[in-house]
Structure 1
């Protein structure tokens, strides 16, 4: 049997270059694979964490965080609405104050609602002098309510501020009513 001798120096250099190139390609593929695995792990672990953080965790919608000290509706109510009307229903004890501002498109409104308990869904309705009705805005009342001083829930002490608008001109509005979705009137406020 014939045993070959050592390769020529030039052939040896080519073989070593080829082996080095193969190892470098394999290392790049391995590194790329590791990066893909790391990115997938970030998405698998980080995605739900981000979703929980963004949505406030597993807290049900009915137990949302307490309202901001001043939100956009409250800010408009306190600083922009020069005209305000108020009433308290003697039967339900629900109180409503409605801030109004005439606009070219109708009437801008902000409702401040207190002493209303839930859970229930409500709407603010503008009633014209001719009896025409328009829903100005609607909302849900959590079980602890809004502006309920006797509630043990910390968020219940805050009134509800809801921004809305009616297509009616301010001069055409006779009164507003806060009603439940099933039609029960909680309070009526003369405009």
Structure 2
């Protein structure tokens, strides 16, 4: 749906953003359907022609739709799992995105999410609760940033998923693994939006939800002494002993 310039900008962003790459994987199965709708709407029984959309959606409309989606997702219990099944934009006078989802019971234990808390899922979050064989947690007494690092031994090193709470933005951060000999390795990095992640008492559901982000270290699990969450300016937000 993007023009050449937009596609180039998106691809450039995607090359350095693990979160967007993971989300793109979720939508990969929809490409044939979207292509069929865009190129040959008559091939779908009962399909209406795709109207020309002359303008981008107004920020207020788009923001309202995203807020509504977030509110509905957060009303579900932490046992509900969400998988995006379809998306389309067909409305005369302005585009609107529609998502079809399914949910099912999912007894995922562990982690720092209390029973009954809203628990929308993502690939990193699923991995955090389902595949991480070991987890270590810490909260910095000064910054009050809380972090849990889930670890999974791999032949190539250590697979990690970070759960981060009570971090405010805007700022850019990294997760650094520090070995027992003092060697350091950047595991992953991300941007924190202005509203932050895992903010207790936040009215914005997006700000209230923790951040879950994948990462990987070449170090063996037994060689890792600790993890540190740092800003790009070098400030240490929290240290997690391994």
Structure 1: unaligned runs, 5 residues or longer: 1-41
Structure 1 residue 156: Cα displacement:
1.0
- Corresponding residue SS for 1:113: strand
Structure 2 counterpart of 1:31: none
**Residue 45 of structure 1 pairs with residue 52 of structure 2:** yes
Larger Rg: 1
**Residue 171 of structure 1 pairs with residue 222 of structure 2:** yes
- Corresponding residue SS for 1:84: strand
**Residue 158 of structure 1 pairs with residue 209 of structure 2:** yes
User: How many equivalent pairs are there?
Assistant: 143
Equivalent positions of 1:6-85 (< 5 A) are 45-46=52-53, 66=70, 69-85=120-136
Equivalent positions of 1:94-133 (< 5 A) are 94-133=145-184
| TM-score normalised over the length of structure 1 | 0.67
Structure 1 counterpart of 2:190: 139
- Corresponding residue SS for 1:45: coil
Structure 1 residue 150: Cα displacement:
2.5
**Residue 190 of structure 1 pairs with residue 190 of structure 2:** no
- Corresponding residue SS for 1:146: coil
- Partners of 1:105 and 1:150 in 2: CA distance: 40
- Partners of 2:165 and 2:219 in 1: CA distance: 25
Structure 1 residue 82: Cα displacement:
1.5
Q: Which has the higher contact order (CA 8 A, sep 6+)?
A: 1
Structure 1 residue 47: Cα displacement:
7.3
- Partners of 2:222 and 2:151 in 1: CA distance: 11
Structure 1 residue 106: Cα displacement:
0.5
Structure 2: unaligned runs, 5 residues or longer: 1-48, 74-81, 83-119
- Partners of 1:115 and 1:139 in 2: CA distance: 15
C-alpha distance 47-75 of structure 1, shift in aligned 2 (>3 A): farther
User: Structure 1 stretches (4+) deviating beyond 4 angstroms?
Assistant: 65-68
Hey, which of these two has a bigger chunk of helix by percent? 1
- Partners of 1:43 and 1:153 in 2: CA distance: 34
